[in-house]
Chains A and B, each alone.
Chain A
Amino acid sequence: MKDKLSSLWQKLFGDSVRAFGVISLVFLASMAIAPAKNFFSEWRHYQHGYLSMIRNRSEANTLRRHFQGGIQQIWLPELGVVDRCTSCHVGLKEATLTDVAQQPYRKHPVIPHNLDQFGCTVCHRGQGAATTVAEAHSSTLAWEQPILPAKFVESSCGQCHRGPLPGTPQLNLGRNLLSRSGCVHCHTVRLADGRTMKATDDPPPLSHIADKTSREWIYAWLKDPQAYAVTSTMPNFKLTDDDARDISAFLIANSTPVSGDSITLSAKASSDPTAGASLYGESFCASCHAVQNAAGNIVGGDVGPELTRIGSKVKPAWLQAWVRNPRVYDPPTAMPHYRFSDAQVATLTGFLLAKADSDLLTNVHLDAATPEQIAHGKRLVSDYGCASCHEIAGIKKPENFAPELSRIGSKPITQLIFLTGMPQTLPDYIAGKIKQPRAFAPGLKMPQYTFAPAQIDALTTALLSLNDRSYSLPPSLAVAAPPESDYQPAGRAGKLMTDLACFSCHRINGHGGDMAPDLTWEGSSVQREWLVQFFKNPGTLRPALIRRMPKFNLTDGEVSELTDYMMTVYQSPAVDRDSMPLSGYSPGQIELGKQLFYGKYSCQGCHIVDTKTDKGYIGPTLTHVGSRLTAAWIYQWMKNPQALRPGAIEPNRALNDEDARALTAFLMSQKGGGKQEAAKK
């Protein structure tokens, strides 16, 4: 052994020339390691692949000219971006590569941003500085941000864009759900622009609950809210029988009566289902309330609660008082005060009470509550944070009841506890928590929601956008949300509008719902007499709509109060009502307008002027438009509809003065009835 070694030594280093040669060889070999590693690197392999892919394309020369070999890097110091992704994703900016499906060579889909200004990881996450696929795309020990799955990529838009965007439906839906599903009642969400996310749902107050419903119903509801109404947004707290018994005992014992909260009508509750159904239809209850039909489909709006089993829930005397004037029980309710007559109240409540489910409460038998049960119920109400959402007399709304979510999108994975078998990424954790909150540890309080898979993805998207980058952004990149308005009309008319809940459907000065037209400039738009008649008997302007203005049985005094206010206050500075007359246009001008209407502009595609020939079903019917709108409004509308009502779907035809004037003349001649016939001759 020793001999062999010494002879080997002799062979290699026997004399100085040999030793020099061997050592040179060793040096040479070791110096070749770095170039070899470089030569066999992944990115070089992909660049070779790219070059051989483009070789046979017709535009190969152009592509080769654009190609730059070596490590590529997008460096954006103010965003903290060092992205070398373009070393392998070589064709990202090549407009002609739309037919290439092979990665990493696909062209980047069209987005409104320049890749050189934003880099890659701002939107896609991942490790920008890495030069191997595994390190760039996956999480490693030193780097825990893997590539964001495509379905959550809209969350990155939300880092800078604080308001809704037309191209990000998923993010918009997620943010909407955060406010609408009650998440932010318990979880504080402070946004990077200083706002705090507000809840937009309206959980009912429980301080007078005994007026409204029975303890048995509360018990059944607490055990399984969706058994009463499948669309219910109340989550399931998975209470034991005893806990549900005690909470219901406390809520009933804690409830105080409100005067006027229950009434017994002189008229008997009608059992005539036809009259009830037609009053329910005429009052457009279905615009806000849904009912599950025999086929199991939910029909109606989601502004108010579902009414499928309302008869099993409410006490008849309470329902009558509520239908007569909901503001007695719940002053800020979104439900309008309809001013129904006693007979109408009786008809409607009779119709609603018949919507009952005899199975709902058959198995609920509760003994009288003991003081211990009530005390225990009160403790449970505090423990579960019921007062975070519901107003309950004697219980304060808890502060910081649940963990703050303001930066949940940057939560380090090391701080998360995953379920076994679950992929260990932040999006999976967030989605998992929403899907089954109680599974993550014993004793957790977050209740079980009934979100659909698509809603969970949307919520996860919105939560991922709440991250460190949204705070550390250069201010010049932040795109502010449209300002929120808390506009309230003043005076007696304002009170009346609140009572009628106009803002549940209409928007004025940026405040209110979007079910019905924006009324910000209504005073410039319509003629006073038409508005008076419309309040008294609201007809429909758009025959295809299923949601319409209900009739509120207003008194003459109330109508003139509202009309005067709207005609005076809701005036657009762009429309001078008195600048153009309501009638007296020359027959020649009217005829020219008619030709433009049916010819050049083909308005009959969407509107009806002559019910015999026109069929357009999209815009409002114009048979009486000359008695409804002001001429100045029509004229300005012709010139630019969106300037008067942003988001109007009528195309802006940018009419010249002459055409606009002629069309105004023709439309103002459409006053309905006999005059219309005269105008056509």
Chain B
Amino acid sequence: MNRFASGALVLSVAVLAASCSRKPDSAPLKPTAFGAVIVESSGGKQITQTGTLLPQPVVVQVNDEQGAAVTGALVEFAAAPGVTFDPASALTDSSGQVTTNVALGGMAGRYQITVSTLDKTHKKVELKIEEIALGYQQTLGRRLNDQYCERCHNPESTVERVSNYDNLEVKPHPFTEGETLNKFSDTDLTAIITYGGPALNKSALMPAWGNTLKKSDVQALIAYIRAVSDPPSRSAGPVYAKN
């Protein structure tokens, strides 16, 4: 009787182990090398809609003490629940880099991605990267920004959209300029957008949009401005989305 029970126990453990090992990611990646620091190559501070993929992948690089790229170091990505990584962990390639596609969670706000690797003493080395997820209202605001505001307020030019920023005598504030814009209350921003710069004794080069944009449009724009400001604005809601 006793022997039968122990046999069954062994069998069930074996079945359990076998069923676990069939999972694709159960074989953990084994690092073949260890670095000293992780640096961001590209993909930080991107903006996307809640739940969707970032337009560009996040690329990080592991370097050793001398700053040379390390191949074969294990890099792991982690963030609040709801954020998905493809892949969530990988070994650095021949140029010391790991590329992952990131989809942000369902809550609007800022997401902090923690990228980690182990150094030679098996201590964790971390890098924090920040991404921004826009909800419905902020997405609407982004569209209005792209249509009406960005040509002057974004100093960067692309082939498709040449920036007018440099042509203006009084420089507009880029919407990421949190240090300035966070000081304006929602009421102030509404007044400037609706009645133009002179409403707050600012330049007339900022026209009045009150007849072009609806009230809800202006609110959406402000929600967008708050969402992308750097440093983050408190009125944008939770600074780091926890899902």
Interface extent on B, as a size class? 35 or more
Give min CB distance, B203 to chain A, whole Å.
Answer: 7
- Chain A neighbourhood of B108, CB < 8 A: 109
Is there a chain B Cβ closer than 8 Å to A599's Cβ?
yes
Q: Mark B35-59, 1 if CB is under 8 A from A, else 0.
A: 0000000000000011111010000
- Chain B neighbourhood of A170, CB < 8 A: 49, 52
- Of A74-82, A337-345, A382-390, A649-657, the segment with at least 4 beta carbons within 8 Å of chain B is A649-657
- Of A197-205, A323-331, A615-623, the segment with at least 4 beta carbons within 8 Å of chain B is A615-623
Give min CB distance, A508 to chain B, whole Å.
Answer: 22
Is the beta-carbon distance between B160 and A453 smaller than 8 angstroms?
Answer: no
Give min CB distance, B172 to chain A, whole Å.
Answer: 9
Is the beta-carbon distance between B207 and A602 smaller than 8 angstroms?
Answer: yes
Q: Mark A644-673, 1 if CB is under 8 A from B, else 0.
A: 000001011110000000000000000000
Q: Give complex CA distance A350, B11 in Å.
A: 76
Give min CB distance, A152 to chain B, whole Å.
Answer: 8
Those of B213-243 within 8 Å (CB) of chain A: 216, 219, 223, 234-235, 237-238, 240-243
Is there a chain A Cβ closer than 8 Å to B190's Cβ?
no
- Of B1-9, B68-76, B135-143, B177-185, the segment with at least 4 beta carbons within 8 Å of chain A is B135-143
A544 touches which of B140, B162, B241, B242 (Cβ 8 Å): B162
Is the beta-carbon distance between B159 and A167 smaller than 8 angstroms?
Answer: no
- Chain A neighbourhood of B160, CB < 8 A: 546
Is there a chain A Cβ closer than 8 Å to B208's Cβ?
yes
Is there a chain B Cβ closer than 8 Å to A678's Cβ?
no
Is the beta-carbon distance between A111 and B105 smaller than 8 angstroms?
Answer: no
Where chain A touches its partner, the secondary structure class is loop
Those of A452-502 within 8 Å (CB) of chain B: 453-454, 457
Give min CB distance, A215 to chain B, whole Å.
Answer: 39
- Chain A neighbourhood of B161, CB < 8 A: 544
Q: Check A652/B204 contact, CB under 8 A, given A617-B164, A618-B151.
A: no
Is there a chain B Cβ closer than 8 Å to A101's Cβ?
yes
Residues of A in contact (CB 8 Å), total 43
Q: Check A454/B55 contact, CB under 8 A, given A652-B211, A654-B211.
A: yes
Q: Check A457/B53 contact, CB under 8 A, given A169-B139, A642-B212, A652-B212.
A: yes
Is the beta-carbon distance between B207 and A111 smaller than 8 angstroms?
Answer: no
Is there a chain B Cβ closer than 8 Å to A110's Cβ?
yes
Q: Check A605/B212 contact, CB under 8 A, given A457-B52, A618-B151.
A: no
Is the beta-carbon distance between A454 and B52 smaller than 8 angstroms?
Answer: yes
Q: Mark A98-111, 1 if CB is under 8 A from B, else 0.
A: 11111100100111
Is there a chain B Cβ closer than 8 Å to A153's Cβ?
yes
Is there a chain A Cβ closer than 8 Å to B205's Cβ?
yes
Q: Mark B94-127, 1 if CB is under 8 A from A, else 0.
A: 0000000101011111000000000000000000
Is there a chain B Cβ closer than 8 Å to A601's Cβ?
yes
Those of A598-625 within 8 Å (CB) of chain B: 599-602, 605-606, 615-618
- Chain B neighbourhood of A109, CB < 8 A: 108, 135-137
**What residue of chain B has the Cβ atom nearest to residue A111's Cβ?**
B136
Is the beta-carbon distance between B216 and A100 smaller than 8 angstroms?
Answer: no
- Chain A neighbourhood of B238, CB < 8 A: 98-101
Is there a chain B Cβ closer than 8 Å to A421's Cβ?
yes
Q: Give complex CA distance A463, B109 in Å.
A: 28
Give min CB distance, B51 to chain A, whole Å.
Answer: 3
Q: Give complex CA distance A98, B152 in Å.
A: 31
Is there a chain A Cβ closer than 8 Å to B26's Cβ?
no
Is the beta-carbon distance between B167 and A653 smaller than 8 angstroms?
Answer: no
Q: Mark B195-210, 1 if CB is under 8 A from A, else 0.
A: 0000000011101110
Is the beta-carbon distance between A106 and B107 smaller than 8 angstroms?
Answer: yes
- Chain B neighbourhood of A605, CB < 8 A: 152, 164, 167-168, 205, 207
Q: Check A599/B212 contact, CB under 8 A, given A111-B136, A606-B164.
A: no
Across the A-B interface, give the 8 residue pairs with the lowest CB-CB distance, nearest first: A150-B51, A150-B106, A151-B51, A615-B167, A544-B162, A652-B211, A109-B135, A101-B238
Interface residues of B (CB under 8 A from A): 24, 49-53, 55, 82, 101, 103, 105-109, 135-137, 139-140, 143-144, 147-148, 151-152, 159-162, 164, 166-168, 203-205, 207-209, 211-212, 216, 219, 223, 234-235, 237-238, 240-243
Selected A-B contacts with CB under 8 Å, 29 pairs: A98-B235, A99-B234, A101-B238, A101-B240, A101-B241, A101-B243, A106-B107, A109-B108, A110-B223, A111-B137, A112-B216, A149-B51, A150-B50, A151-B103, A453-B101, A454-B55, A544-B161, A544-B162, A546-B159, A601-B204, A605-B152, A605-B164, A617-B164, A642-B212, A649-B147, A649-B148, A651-B148, A653-B207, A653-B211
- Supply 15 further A-B pairs (C-beta < 8 A) apart from A111-B137, A617-B162: A99-B237, A109-B136, A110-B219, A149-B51, A151-B52, A167-B140, A170-B52, A421-B24, A457-B52, A616-B167, A640-B211, A651-B209, A652-B212, A653-B207, A654-B211
Interface residues of A (CB under 8 A from B): 98-103, 106, 109-112, 149-153, 166-167, 169-170, 421, 453-454, 457, 544, 546, 599-602, 605-606, 615-618, 640, 642, 649, 651-654
